[in-house]
Amino acid sequence: MPGQLFNSPEKQWVRRRLWLPTLRDFHSRFLGEIKYLTFAGPQGHDLELFAIQQKLIRIENIRIWENAPDVAKRLVQKYGPALKIKQGEAFDLCKAKNEKSFFPFHLVNLDYTSGAFHVDQPRRLPTKLETVQMIINNQEEHATSFLLFLAVAAKADVDNDLGRLFVQKAAFDLAKRLGKTEPLFDLTRDLAKTYPETLATIVPCIVIRMGGEHHFDTHCIGKAVYRPYRSAKTTILSFVFNLEYENVPLTLSSHQSMKLFDESIEDRQRKACALQLIDVNLKIPRRRRKIRSKQLP
Ligand SMILES: C[S@@+](CC[C@H](N)C(=O)[O-])C[C@H]1O[C@@H](n2cnc3c(N)ncnc32)[C@H](O)[C@@H]1O
């Protein structure tokens, strides 16, 4: 039997050991019903776990964005009309007027399987990061704190030259401003070995900056790397962020309030750099790994 799509033992570990405890903790402190925006994939394994098995979220409170029409159709057939599925590209949907009316959410899961920095033409921001920024923007309009799960591919070849310029500039900034020199150093060496670690440092610092600029005290509270089914072709980074909305005094100028946020942005970035990157492949028991690899063609 071939390995199931989006359900490797490593992905299951991320769902159960990284996402679920974070959601449980949020749920235990939250009064009200959690609204969830996700890419559920063809089988909806995340909503099976959070809504059907653990009952932390009601199916009616889940909104799915899915760009593949066949996958969207399959989800409708599996879960029926209670589940709200919007077919389309997340980059377009995060800006669509109609979709904005469904905000705010308390958990947003952008579970990508491609690179964060790939761009086809010069842009101010790569589209995935602009999607994150728009979502933060939409949440800010409702002054609503939320959890963000973000996954991206991290093999050395996932981001093209144009995209890698963003990575180099960010690495340079972290070296200069925070004295964090490894990403810059590693980019000049063996990318195949070091690119996941480099992105594991850079991506959280970008999200923390975006959150801070929209009045969210943003913490990276988890980061993990895995190769699904120990594949040589795919490496995925999975991040967990907590974005706490901070009301700023209405008497402060935007310059003064940004100055306050600047200090905390730097502190949160330092903490994110110091946070351990969990290697999920090392967490999967050896026997289970062997069984899995035998099952694969
Ligand atoms: C990795 S799967 C989701 C797995 C699910 N979260 C889980 O825990 O099992 C990602 C899904 O999102 C869809 N997708 C990927 N990029 C997208 C985008 N930019 N916009 C909308 N849907 C996207 C893919 O077609 C796929 O079905």
Give me the CATH number covering residue 278. 3.40.50.150
Full domain range(s) for residue 275: 9-284
- Report the Cα–Cα distance between both ends of the chain, in Å, rounded: 8
Which ligand 1 atom sits nearest the alpha carbon of residue 68? 25
- Residue 4 inside a domain? The answer is no
Mean pLDDT (the chain, rounded): 93
Tell me the whole-structure pTM to 2 decimals: 0.94
pLDDT band (50, 70, 90) for residue 292:
low
Give Cα 12 to chain centroid, integer Å: 16
State the distance from the centre of ligand 1 to the C-alpha of 5, rounded, in angstroms.
11
How many domains is the chain partitioned into structurally?
A: 1
- Residue 277 inside a domain? The answer is yes
- Residue 110 inside a domain? The answer is yes
Higher pLDDT, 295 or 64: 64
Convert the pLDDT of each residue in 227-237 to its tens digit. Answer: 999 999 999 99
User: Ligand 1 — pocket residues by CB below 6 A?
Assistant: 6, 15, 38-42, 45-46, 65-68, 71, 89-90, 109, 111-113
- Residue 275 inside a domain? The answer is yes
294 has a pLDDT exceeding 60? no
Q: Which of 23, 39, 149 to mutate to test the pocket of ligand 1 (most atoms within 8 A of CB)?
A: 39
Convert the pLDDT of each residue in 240-286 to its tens digit. Answer: 999 999 999 999 998 999 898 999 999 999 999 999 999 999 999 76
Which one, of 149, 264, 133, lies nearest residue 207 by Cα?
133
State the distance from the centre of ligand 1 to the C-alpha of 4, rounded, in angstroms.
15
Alpha helices, H only, 179-231? 182-187, 191-213
Q: Find all residues with CB under 8 Å of 243, minimum gap 6, and list them.
A: 136, 139, 145, 146, 147, 148, 211, 216, 217, 218
